Structure 1
């Protein structure tokens, strides 16, 4: 196969984006060719999986479309990228080519009643701030608050707000403007189910250039910190707290050992299990009664939007990241769900050596991240099978293939990307990973 003329593409990109809008510098290309996949020792053993030949930095949704158009004309593979906070290798350019970094396309276009529209690179915390100024807030908020809206939607991510709405973004996405090799440089405006076809597929069927997501009325949240002598105490109240009305935005808890690895805070007393809530003031008295009735104690209640943000970044997989930082090279994790995380916790912990669970109250059942001491890929996959036998739903984060609506995405990409230029290596229809159940 003839190698594309990258020099010609670079020259055209410079004319389109200016001298700082494209780079062929090796350090810049290497930086743009990794994401958070080092959380997975299985993927980390394979890194680097590919290095970009060029990196482009479009500053608007329209420039995203134009960049895709130029790359397609030269037959260059395109790997879209937000902030690179994904943990599955979605943003790694496995066949080189062009990394399309959308993080400079961060214009917030419109805040309306019940919606906000922004270019793909707009950070989620900027969307939340803009929404708050209009008396609203995001319907779903990410655990990584500075991630981009395009990356959040295209990646394999979840977010807080799941107790009320669930975690799969269905209902969160109002409309998307996407660009595909078949449409480039034009943007396609899609709504409803058509837009949902481009969610969670890593840009393999089309690249999100602009997104409209749902807002809801602003609530005056509080950040509640509690603790128990042991993890069993936290587990005993987690589901009851999650069912309080109005629904909390987050209820999460950690084992004593994970709590000890979190950033130092007086609300994390030594030798105790931490339980945290983003809660409406109307339920604070009820939550306090539940917690204290089960032998726990309230450590602090904090006000203001920063209190909510601080608890969001201690949710989802972030506690496991702190655990991994404290003991490098020791732990891996899998995403888990189901009532067995509470009802059969000793058996769940025993599946992996050194098993430790971070848990959250979910929309229909608890969700969490189960960490264990890493031994081998085979041991990880065998453990996933055992978790399934315990009634635990598992999402395997140790692979980079699209695994959300895979068949639908493959069919869609046959039309939108007939030459397979979008994020090649991430859409394998033959993939059948070691997954029982699903987080989403």
Structure 2
């Protein structure tokens, strides 16, 4: 399914339910969860109507929806009870973690029930192959548990406070992507999922059977718990280097991608974006920045390459707290910091391809004020191209120019399922026959 770069939310796919159905469901949930397990208080509804889509001026201008109820399961076994009650009343269900995603995927398009999974935080086991945890467990806690067993996650998101279920349901990348690619390509060993059916139960899925439920925005099933891959712990070093020019920094990052073992993370920014990042002596104002989480075995090679490329090593740090800190300066975060420094001014497009380095100046000229944040990804450069926001038409107009330069473009200004949507839609028709799971996600 091909979708436009910028989409406007419509009422297509709205379930047929009303206030009486919501009131009846509220009574059902009180019986299941008790008075502290369900709410319609305005503050709770407002919180459940927000996520990271505020990064997009296009999404921020749209009314993406507000729930009628929010519920908070504290044990996994009540999730099927909640789902059966909602299905019986015909009320839509939107599953939510920490709401750190940037695409409006956890905002309930047509109201209904928001199922907040953040109380389901148990880490159930860590083995040599995988860590198993409930959907509300935070990714940083999974990483810490793995480190305690001399292992590490295959990947964890730059927003380390995101939940396991939210990361798998909405995420498509992570800090480990240089080696392993996106998280729907081998990260998940098993899932426990609840379908939106009248006889809903927890369904256990292993291996290939679990993969179709990853990165579906919760439209095909509710992830209750998951087993995700770990690997032997590497001794990581966090390297910060500064450069006199953005060109030098980006060229160095491109070359650094070839070292072995591969870095876990590799980011680069010009001086303007670097200046918007949190204060740190390793982020030198007025200079471009290259930051990497590098295997200790490759540290000498990496620092020698950075210096030979015109860089200056500003810091080398170690420990899980430092790797987490550096990861929060990657992916969408530099754009967020730029927007925070100059509110209402910037938008971004997600872009990919070696042209981001080889044709950097041309890429940045596509949008007014263009500044590129660069990530080294799995077999490809990718990043966030920031520009001064004028209107949606301006965003769309730049896409053709970028593609002519050999740049792939993905829009962060959308709220619909955008990865293999036809397959996901076919799956959802089987697991959610009434279209009650996070409806309104199709173009």
Instruction: State the TM-score, normalized to the length of structure 2.
Output: 0.94
Pick the aligned partner of 1:35 from 51, 56, 60: 51
Report which structure shows greater RCO (CA 8 Å, sep ≥6): 2
Which of 219, 228, 233 is equivalent to 1:213? 228
Per-residue deviation, residues 364-411 of structure 1 (Å, max 9, x unmatched): 111111110011111101112211111111111111110111010111
1:156-196 deviations in Å (ceiling 9; x for gaps): 44211111111243100111111111375311111222211
Q: Tell me the SS of whatever aligns to 1:169.
A: coil
Contact 2:87 2:198 in 1 (8 A): no
Deviation at 1:42, TM superposition (A): 0.6
| Structure 1 residue aligned with 2:404 | 389
Give the Å deviation of 1:6.
2.1
Q: What residue number does 2:286 align with?
A: 271
1:111 aligned onto 2:126: yes
2:12 matched residue in structure 1: none
2:210 to 158, 170, 195: 195
Q: 1:421 to 1:228 in 2, by over 3 A?
A: same
Aligned CA RMSD, in angstroms, stands at 1.2
Query: Quick one: distance in 1 between partners of 2:295 and 2:350?
Result: 27
Aligned-pair CA distance for 1:207: 1.2
Deviation at 1:60, TM superposition (A): 2.8
Q: Distance in 1 between matches of 2:351 and 2:281?
A: 29
1:25 to 35, 38, 41: 41
SS in 1 for 2:213: coil
> Whole-Å Cα distance in 2 between the matches of residues 144 and 184 of structure 1?
35
Q: Does 1:339 align with 2:354?
A: yes
Offset at residue 280 of structure 1 (A): 1.0
Question: Which residue in 2 is equivalent to 1:380?
Answer: 395
1:310 aligns with 2:322: no
Name the counterpart of 1:165. 180
Among candidates 10, 22, 28, match of residue 12 of structure 1: 28
Structure 2 Cα separation of the partners of residues 176 and 183 of structure 1: 21
CA distance in 2, matches of 1:69, 1:264: 50
Q: Structure 1 stretches of 5 or more lacking a match?
A: 432-440
- Who is 1:65 aligned against? 80
- 1:18-49 deviation digits (Å, cap 9, x = unpaired): 222111111111111111111010110113x2
Deviation per CA, 1:128-153: give whole Å up to 9, x if none.
Answer: 11111111110011100010000001
2:150 equivalent in structure 1 = 135
Structure 1 range deviating more: 10-19 or 66-75: 10-19
Deviations 1:235-284 (A, max 9, x none): 11112212211111011011110000000000011200011010111111
Count of aligned pairs between the two proteins: 427
Q: Does 1:323 align with 2:338?
A: yes
User: Do the aligned partners of 2:177 and 2:378 also contact (CA within 8 Å) in 1?
Assistant: yes
The more displaced of 323-332 and 382-391 is 382-391
Q: Hey, what's the Cα distance between the residues in 1 that align with 2:25 and 2:407? A: 49
What's the counterpart of residue 368 of structure 1? 383
Q: How does 1:172-321 map to 2 (within 5 A)?
A: 172-182=187-197, 184-321=199-336
Distance 1:379 1:56, change over 3 A: same
- Take 1:193 and 1:272, find their aligned partners in 2: how far apart are those partners? 46
Q: How many angstroms apart in 2 are the aligned matches of 1:310 and 1:197? A: 32
Q: Which moved more, 1:198-207 or 1:179-188?
A: 179-188
CA distance in 2, matches of 1:227, 1:256: 9
Contact 1:60 1:106 in 2 (8 A): no
Pick which of 185-194 and 250-259 moved more: 185-194
Residues 276-331 of structure 1: CA deviation (Å, up to 9, x unaligned): 01011111111111111111110000111111000111111000000000000000
Q: Distance in 2 between matches of 1:32 and 1:263?
A: 28
1:5 deviation in Å? 2.5
CA distance in 1, matches of 2:258, 2:39: 50
**Distance between the aligned counterparts of 2:199 and 2:326, measured in 1?**
40
SS in 1 for 2:372: strand
Q: From the superposition, tell whether residues 183 and 412 of structure 1 become closer, same or farther in structure 2 (CA, over 3 Å).
A: farther
Gaps of 5+ in 2: 1-15
Distance 1:425 1:2 in 2: 14
CA shift digits 1:87-131 (9 cap, x unpaired): 100011110000011111111111112101111110000111111
Using the size of structure 1 for normalisation, the TM-score is: 0.95
Per-residue deviation at 1:11?
Answer: 2.2
Moved more, 24-33 or 57-66: 57-66
8 Å CA contact retained: 1:183, 1:416: no
Deviations 1:325-384 (A, max 9, x none): 000000001111100000000110011000011101111111111110011111101112
Q: For the residues of structure 1 that align with 2:49 and 2:117, how far apart are their CA atoms?
A: 14
